[in-house]
Structure 1
Amino acid sequence: MSEYTQSLKISTSIARLRAEANVTQAVLAKESGLDQSRVSRIEKGEVVSSADVDRVLEALDVLGTPSAKAFMEYIDREWQHVEPPSFWNPERACLEITEDTLNEIETFLAEEDHPWPLRRQIERQRESLLRAASFLGRLHHNIAFIGDMGVGKSTAISFIFDLLVPPSLADKTFNRPVLETGAGGTTICEVHIKAGPEFGISLLPMSDAEMRELVSDFCASKWALHMSEQREAGETVGISREAERAIRNMTGLGRKRETVEGKIVYQDPVGDVAKSSSSEDEFRTRILTLMNLDDRTRREFWYDSSTRKHPMEWVTETFKAVNNGRLKDAPLPKSIDLLIPSFGRAFGELDITVIDTKGVDDVAVREDLDHRLKDPRTTVVFCSRFNDAPGTSTRVLLQHMRQTFSERFDTGKVSVLALPRSEEARAMKDDLGEQALTDAEGYEFKRMQVSSELSAEDLAGVPMLFYNVEADEAATVRGDLFAQLSRMRKAVEERLFDLCAASQDIIKNHEAQALNAAIEEVANRLNTFLRGNRGLGAREQLAHVDAINTIKGVRYASTLWASTRRGGEYTGLNVVHLIGVGAARDAKRRSESWFKSLDAFLKSLKADEGLTLANRTIDQIAASAAATKRAFLEAAQLGGVEVYRKPLSQTPVWSACASEWGRGPGFKLRVADHLENWFSNETELKDRLEQMINGLWEQKVIAPLVRLVEESAPEADPTPSNIIPLKGRMSA
C-alpha cells in the first residue's frame, strides 16, 4: 500500500472515530494540543507527522472513543503477507490471525530440516490462506437479481433499495421507481446500481460490431415482412421489444398514431423506408445513417442542480431516455451504471453493487447469468411471482448449478424472492384447506410448499424470501439479503480459522514423533489410494448434446434465428457456451463416483484411532479435494468452449441453418438436424476435447493431491487456472 493511500485511510478513519464519539474538531484540537486547522488537515489526508496522528488518537481515547486504542494498535501493525484490510472490515480479527499464522509458516518453511510431508501440507495451507484472506480483505460484493421477464424484478429492486422519486412527484405508488418498469421487455441491458460521488449515469456502449449485428437483425426482420416471406407457423422473427423501441427512437422512426374514419391506427415509418429501398442492403444502410452512430459518443451524465429537479426525478428521466435511445448523443448501451451517493449504506462496511439482469425470456442458461452464478463475490436472488414460486427459470438455473458447479445452496450464494401482490398471500391454504389469516402465515405456507418441491428435485437448502412492495417493510428484505452476504463471508472466515488452527498445530507439534508418524501414514495411504484410483471415468454424454436439446426446446424462433445469424454466439442463445456447459456436466457426472470414493476413504482414515493426531490434516485434504473439483469443472467448461469456438465460427453450417427460416414449420428441428450432422462428422473435435478433459483431470485434481503425498512430485498446476493448454496452440 502506498504512503498516500495509507495516509488517506488513516485520515478518513480518524474523522469517523471522532464523528462516532460525537466530538467536534475544536474539542479534539484542545485535548490533543493541536490547532483546529491541524486537526482538519489530518482528517483531510494531507501530509502530517505520525506524532500528530498519535496525539489525536490519544486524545480520542481520553475523550472516551471506544475504538481509538484498537485503531492505534491497528496502524502500528505490519502486514507482510495479507493486503492490509480496512479497520472497519468485519473479519479484520480473523485476517490479523491469518497474517500472524503466515508469519509463523514463513519461519517454519525457512528451516529445511522438517519432514517433507509436513512441508508440503504447510505449503498447501499457505496457498489456501492467501486465497481466503484475499477474499475477505475485499469488501465489495454484488447482489444480482435474476428472473423471468415481467415478474416485477425492477420494481422490487427500486423499492427494496429506496430508488424512488418522492411521493409528491408521482401520481401512483407504482410510478415511483427509478428503474423503468413495465410488463416485461423494458430494460435494454444489465443495470448496475452502486455508490457514486454524486447522482449520475454511466454507460458501457455496445461495440460497433454488436450494434451493426443488432441493426442487421432489425432490418432483416422488417425486410422479410416487406417482402411477405413465408412465416414460421404464423410467427415472425425480430429483435427484442426493448431493442426495437430503442432503434426506432434513435432513427426517429417511431410508429405514429393517426385517426382514420374514427378509428385509431398506427403508421409505421420503417415500413415506408423499406418500401422505398431497392434492396435489404440499401434499407440497412439508410437505417444506420439515420442513427448517426458517429455522433453518439457520450458515456456519462451527471445531475445538475440548476435543473431544479429532485435528483431521483432527474435519474428516472435520464435513465429512461438512455434506456429507450432518446438521447441524440448517447449510444445504445451494453450495460448501464446508476451512481447514487451513499448507496448501500444499509449494508454497513460492505461496498455493494446491485445488478438488475436482463429478464429471462427464453433460454435461461445464458453466459451473462452464468457469470453471476459462478462469481464467488455475488449473491444471486431468483425472483418470481408469488403464485408461481420458485418460477421456471429459477428451477432451470438451480438445476444447472447442481449439474454443472456442484454448488451448495445453504452458503448465502442463492435465495428465492417471491413477489406477492395484494391478497395473494392470504389466499394460501394449509393442509386442512384453511386459508391464511395473515400475510406472514401465507408466506409460511408458501415457504413450506416451495421447500418441499425443491427438496423433491434435490435442490434443498435454498432460502425463501418474500416482499410485497405495497405492504412489506423494505428494511426486512434488505436485512435478509445482508444475511446472505454475511453467510458467504462467514463460510470463508470459518475456513480461514480452520486453516490457521491446522497450520499452528503442525508448527507447534512438529517435533512430536507421533504427529509426524500419523501424517506420514495418512500420506502413504492416500498415495496408495491415488495409485489405484487415478483415472477419470468414461465419457457419458457428448458435450454438444445439451446445446442440441436447448435448440429443440427454444420457445421463440426469433432467438434461434438470431443465433444462426451470429455463428451460434448470441447473447440470448450462445451455442458455444452451451457446449462448454455440456462438457462441464459430463465431467461432473464421470468424476462423481471418484470423489465419492475419496470422501469415503478419508472418512475411514478419520475413523482410525491410530490417526487421530492427523485429523486436521485429513480435513484439509478433503477441503483441497473440494477445491480441485471446482477447478476441474470450471476448466472443463472453458475447455469445451476453446475446442469448439473457432471451428464453429468458421463452418458454413450456420448459413445453412439461417436459410431454413421461411421454409415452413419445423425451423428449430431443421436447424438441430444440421448441427447434429455437423457435430457427428467432427470426430476429431470430440477426441480433442476428450484428450483435454483427461489432461485437465490429471492437472487439476490428481497432481495437486499427489503433491501432498509424494516427495518427488513436481509443482502442481504450474499454469494459471484460466489457461487451457491446447494441442498445437502457439504460446504467446
Structure 2
Amino acid sequence: MLREKSKLNQKEVQRASGLDQSRISRIEKGEIFPSDSDVNAFLSAIRVPVAKQYKEYLRTEWTHLTQPPYTHPDLEALTRAERCLKQIDSAFPDENERSPIRRQLDLYRAGLLRLGKFLQTLEHTVAFIGTIGIGKSTAISHITGLTVPREGGLMDRCALEVAGGRTTLCEVQLKPSANPRMGVIVDPQTEEELHTLVGDLCAGLVPSPSKPGAEDQRRGVPGEVETALRNMARLPRQRNTADPLRDLAKGARSSEELHAELCTLMNLPRRTRCEIWHDGTGVSEVEWLKRTFSDVNRARLEDVPLPRRINVLIPRNPFDTTFDVTIVDTKGIDDVASAIRPDIETRITDPRTISILCSGFPDAPNTVVQQVLRHLRDVGEAATLRDRVIVLVLPQNQQALDTMEDGARVESKEHGYEVRQRDAIEQLRRAGFDSPPPFVFYDAVADDPGGLVTAINHQIRHLRDSYVQQIAKIHDNISVLLADEERARAVAAQSHVLNQLAILTERHEFLPRRPRGAHVELVRFMRKDVHHGVLWASTRRRGLYSAFNVYFRLGAGAAMDARERSKQFFHGLEEFYAQWKADPTLEGASGLLDSVTSQLEFWRSRFLDACRRAGEETFRPALLEPSDHADKLWNSSEGLYGQGLPYRSLVADMFNSWFEDPNREDLHDDLEKRVRTAWKEEVIQPLRRLCQPELVAPEHEALH
C-alpha cells in the first residue's frame, strides 16, 4: 500500500533503499517479517507523507491500550487516547497524592480506557427486529447479495427462506468466516424444550372435553414449529390425502403415548450433525445455501437437530463495510405484547449493536416499532435511541406511489417516501420523542439495496464517532487542566463542585421506599397484554418461554421500580449541573462536570442492569424448583386453560396472590437488599470515591 502511494516500482525502491528486490517482494507478500533496518530503509526510500506517519506509528509505545493495526479506521483516536493516558500518569507519578485535579484525571483515565476498549474492536452486530411477515429476511437477503438469479417472484430469489410469515423457525445469524467455503451451523434446541414443544403439539391433537367459551383457547404450537416437528417425524401434511399426524393421534390413548410415538419417529439419538459445508462442487454457493437453509429451517434433514439458532457462515463480510459485521434476523414478533422479549432486549441494549426496527409502509412506524422505542425511553436507554437505532420502512407493491399529499397522489416513489417520513417523524414527536431515530426506506423490488447498506454503515460510523468525540473532548480538557495558569482556578472551582456533590450524594445515600413490588408489572402484563395461548405455553415451562418469560418480566419490573425510585436523584443532579455550568466562577470545573455527566449515564445503566438481574434471579428458585406451593401455582395455571374461563385474569390473580402471600415476604426483602446494594455499589460509592470524603466540608451548606 505504501509503495503504491509513492508510485514507485520494486526496482526503484531497491535502488533507493539498498534492499534486495526479492526481499522487498517477500516482505510485501507477508512471506517474511522485516527487521527494523528493513523498515527504516523501505520507508526512507518511498518518501511520501504517509511513510512518515507510519514511522511515527511504529515508534509509538502502547502501554495502556493494545496497539491497533495501522489500517484501523480509528487509529488517530486510539493514539490520542493512549497519549492522554500516558499524560495522566506523568502528571501525578505519586500514587498517594490526592487533589481535586488528580481525582478528575482518574475519572478521565477510566473514561479513556472504556472508550478505547470499545473502539479497538471493529466487531458490530446489526439486528433486524420486526413483526412476522414484515419483510426482514427479504431485505437481509438482498443487502447481503444472497439472492439467486432465476425467474420467478421475489421470494423465489432469496437464499433465506421467505414466504410471507410463519416461515423462519428461529433466530438466524449471518457471520463472516475465515473458511473459504460457505457453511451452516446449527445451535440445537435443548432436549427439555424439544420435549416441551412435542408435548404442546400433542396437547393440541389429542381430544379433550370441550367447554363452552373455550373455542379460542386451543392448544398447540406455532405453525412454523409444527411444520418442523412434523418433518422430523416424517409426518408432513399431504395434499388431497388424510393427515398422517392426526391419524396417529386418533390411535393414541393419551397425549403421553402420542408424545412417545412422535419422539421415536423423530429418531432423536441420530440427530447429531450441526455443521454443513458447501463442498465446492455442483450448484453455486448461494443456490446451495437456499436449499440447505430451507432444509435446516424446516427440519427435513434426518441427522440434524431442531435448531434454536441457525448460523450462516459467509467467506466474506455480509455486505460492503470496513467493519466486522454480524447480521441477526431475529425471530418475528407475534404482536405488540411480545415486542420486548429477552432476546430482543439483549439486542437493543447491547452497546455494539445497531437495531433495525422494521415497519410496513402505510402505518410506519407501526405499533411494534413504537412499543420498542417507548421501552427504550422508559428504561433510560437514551444512548440507544440517539446512536443505535434505525427505523426501516419496507414498502410493498408500489405502496409509496399510492401516498396522498394535500388530496393528490405523490409524483414519485421518492416523493412518497418523503411524505411518509415527514408524517412518521411528526407522529413520534407528538408521542414525546424530540429527536426521532433516522428513517430508511427500502423496497426490495424497486430500490437498490446499496442505499440501505450505506445507511447501516453510516449509523455504525455515527456510533463510533460518538466515542471518538468523547476522547477528543477529554484530550482538550486534560490540556486545559494541566496548564500551569489554569491549575489554581481549576482547583478552587472543582473543590467547590466536589464538596456540593458530596453533600448531595450523602443526602441520597438510601433509595426512597419501594412503591410497589416487582411482580406488579408481571401481573398487569398477564392480565392485559399477553396472548392466552402464549401464557398457557409459559405455564407449561414454569415461566421459561421465549415468547413470555416470567423471570424476564420480573426483572423488567424491578428495573422500572428502581428507575422510578432513583429519578429524583438523577434529575436533581441534572438541575445542579445546569446551574454549575452556567456559573462563570465555576468555569474551571467545566471538564469535571462533563466527565461526571458521562460517567453518571454509565453508572445509572449499571445500576438498572443490576436491578434487572436481581429481579430475574431473586424469585427464580422459588418458582422454578419443585415445591408444593410452586407446583400448585404452575399446575393450576396450566389446568385452567381450555375450560371456557377468563384464563388470563384468573392466572394473573393466582400469581398476584402467590407474590403477596406473607410467606414470600423474605423474597421481597431479599430483592430490596439487592437493589439497595446495587445503588450503593454502582452509584453512591463511585461518587464518594470521586468526592473523597476527607476533603468534604463537615457542614452541609446549602447548594447554590
Choose the corresponding residue for 2:658, options 663, 675, 678: 678
1:316 aligns with 2:310: no
Shift in alpha-carbon separation, 1:410–1:567, aligned structure 2, 3 A? closer
Q: Which residue of 2 aligns with 1:201?
A: 184
Whole-Å Cα distance in 2 between the matches of residues 114 and 678 of structure 1?
Answer: 55
Choose the corresponding residue for 2:321, options 347, 355, 358: 347
How much has 1:35 moved relative to structure 2? Answer: 4.5
Whole-Å Cα distance in 1 between the matches of residues 384 and 536 of structure 2?
Answer: 35
**1:165 touches 1:312 (CA, 8 Å); kept in 2?**
yes
Whole-Å Cα distance in 1 between the matches of residues 23 and 57 of structure 2?
Answer: 25
Choose the corresponding residue for 2:397, options 414, 418, 422: 422
Worse overlay, 371-380 or 393-402: 393-402
Q: Which residue of 2 aligns with 1:726?
A: none
Choose the corresponding residue for 2:616, options 605, 628, 641: 641
Choose the corresponding residue for 1:397, options 351, 372, 392: 372
Structure 1 residue runs of 5 or longer lacking an equivalent are 1-15, 259-265, 715-732
Whole-Å Cα distance in 2 between the matches of residues 295 and 625 of structure 1?
Answer: 53
Equivalent positions of 1:266-345 (< 5 A) are 266-307=241-282, 309-345=283-319
Whole-Å Cα distance in 1 between the matches of residues 593 and 281 of structure 2?
Answer: 66
1:252 aligns with 2:234: yes
How much has 1:31 moved relative to structure 2? Answer: 6.9
Shift in alpha-carbon separation, 1:509–1:37, aligned structure 2, 3 A? closer
How much has 1:524 moved relative to structure 2? Answer: 1.3
How much has 1:367 moved relative to structure 2? Answer: 0.2
Whole-Å Cα distance in 2 between the matches of residues 27 and 339 of structure 1?
Answer: 43
Shift in alpha-carbon separation, 1:625–1:170, aligned structure 2, 3 A? same
Whole-Å Cα distance in 1 between the matches of residues 319 and 544 of structure 2?
Answer: 39
Q: For each residue in 1:176-220, what CA deviation from the matched residue of structure 2 results, as whole angstroms up to 9, or x when unmatched?
A: 111110121111111111222331112211222222222222222
Whole-Å Cα distance in 1 between the matches of residues 354 and 113 of structure 2?
Answer: 22
Whole-Å Cα distance in 1 between the matches of residues 131 and 247 of structure 2?
Answer: 35
| Secondary structure of 1:476's aligned partner | helix
Q: Which residue of 2 aligns with 1:447?
A: 421
Equivalent positions of 1:105-120 (< 5 A) are 105-112=88-95, 114-120=97-103
**2:174 touches 2:318 (CA, 8 Å); kept in 1?**
no
Shift in alpha-carbon separation, 1:384–1:19, aligned structure 2, 3 A? farther
**1:116 touches 1:711 (CA, 8 Å); kept in 2?**
no
**2:349 touches 2:381 (CA, 8 Å); kept in 1?**
no
**Could you tell me which amino acid in structure 2 is paired with residue 666 of structure 1?**
P
Q: Which residue of 2 aligns with 1:187?
A: 168
Q: For each residue in 1:158-186, what CA deviation from the matched residue of structure 2 results, as whole angstroms up to 9, or x when unmatched?
A: 122322112xx342343211111012111
Q: Which residue of 2 aligns with 1:489?
A: 464
Q: For each residue in 1:391-446, what CA deviation from the matched residue of structure 2 results, as whole angstroms up to 9, or x when unmatched?
A: 1211111111111133246532112111112331122223x323211111111111
1:356 aligns with 2:329: yes
Whole-Å Cα distance in 1 between the matches of residues 126 and 603 of structure 2?
Answer: 27
1:49 aligns with 2:35: yes
**Could you tell me which amino acid in structure 2 is paired with residue 679 of structure 1?**
F
Whole-Å Cα distance in 2 between the matches of residues 400 and 195 of structure 1?
Answer: 31
Shift in alpha-carbon separation, 1:501–1:443, aligned structure 2, 3 A? same
| Secondary structure of 1:88's aligned partner | coil
**Taking every aligned residue pair, what percent have the same amino acid on both sides?**
33
Q: Which residue of 2 aligns with 1:121?
A: 104
Q: Which residue of 2 aligns with 1:667?
A: 647
Whole-Å Cα distance in 2 between the matches of residues 301 and 395 of structure 1?
Answer: 39
How much has 1:54 moved relative to structure 2? Answer: 4.4
Q: Which residue of 2 aligns with 1:40?
A: 26
Whole-Å Cα distance in 1 between the matches of residues 545 and 242 of structure 2?
Answer: 31
Structure 2 residue runs of 5 or longer lacking an equivalent are 697-704
**1:325 touches 1:331 (CA, 8 Å); kept in 2?**
yes
Equivalent positions of 1:430-469 (< 5 A) are 430=405, 432-460=406-434, 461-469=436-444
1:708 aligns with 2:690: yes
Q: For each residue in 1:558-579, what CA deviation from the matched residue of structure 2 results, as whole angstroms up to 9, or x when unmatched?
A: 2111100111110010011011
How much has 1:57 moved relative to structure 2? Answer: 4.7
Q: Which residue of 2 aligns with 1:374?
A: 349
**1:202 touches 1:300 (CA, 8 Å); kept in 2?**
yes
TM-score by length of 1: 0.88
How much has 1:345 moved relative to structure 2? Answer: 5.0
Q: For each residue in 1:525-572, what CA deviation from the matched residue of structure 2 results, as whole angstroms up to 9, or x when unmatched?
A: 212222334332333332112222222234533211110011111001
| Secondary structure of 1:339's aligned partner | strand
How much has 1:710 moved relative to structure 2? Answer: 2.0
**Could you tell me which amino acid in structure 1 is paired with residue 574 of structure 2?**
D
Choose the corresponding residue for 1:585, options 560, 566, 571: 560
Whole-Å Cα distance in 1 between the matches of residues 117 and 31 of structure 2?
Answer: 26
How much has 1:292 moved relative to structure 2? Answer: 1.6
Q: Which residue of 2 aligns with 1:74?
A: 57
**1:42 touches 1:48 (CA, 8 Å); kept in 2?**
no
Number of residue pairs the alignment of both structures matches: 682
Choose the corresponding residue for 1:86, options 69, 83, 88: 69
Choose the corresponding residue for 2:203, options 220, 223, 236: 220
Choose the corresponding residue for 1:605, options 563, 580, 601: 580
Shift in alpha-carbon separation, 1:385–1:657, aligned structure 2, 3 A? same
How much has 1:496 moved relative to structure 2? Answer: 1.6
**2:144 touches 2:319 (CA, 8 Å); kept in 1?**
no
1:101 aligns with 2:84: yes
Shift in alpha-carbon separation, 1:637–1:25, aligned structure 2, 3 A? farther
| Secondary structure of 2:72's aligned partner | coil
**Could you tell me which amino acid in structure 2 is paired with residue 317 of structure 1?**
R
**Could you tell me which amino acid in structure 1 is paired with residue 650 of structure 2?**
R
Q: Which residue of 1 aligns with 2:679?
A: 697
Q: Which residue of 1 aligns with 2:701?
A: none
| Secondary structure of 1:337's aligned partner | strand
**1:554 touches 1:560 (CA, 8 Å); kept in 2?**
no
RMSD: 2.4
**1:409 touches 1:462 (CA, 8 Å); kept in 2?**
no
Shift in alpha-carbon separation, 1:419–1:626, aligned structure 2, 3 A? same
**Could you tell me which amino acid in structure 1 is paired with residue 654 of structure 2?**
H
Whole-Å Cα distance in 2 between the matches of residues 464 and 679 of structure 1?
Answer: 43
**2:210 touches 2:643 (CA, 8 Å); kept in 1?**
no
| Secondary structure of 1:267's aligned partner | coil
How much has 1:249 moved relative to structure 2? Answer: 0.8
Q: Which residue of 2 aligns with 1:237?
A: 219
**Could you tell me which amino acid in structure 1 is paired with residue 638 of structure 2?**
A
Q: Which residue of 1 aligns with 2:528?
A: 553
**1:429 touches 1:436 (CA, 8 Å); kept in 2?**
yes
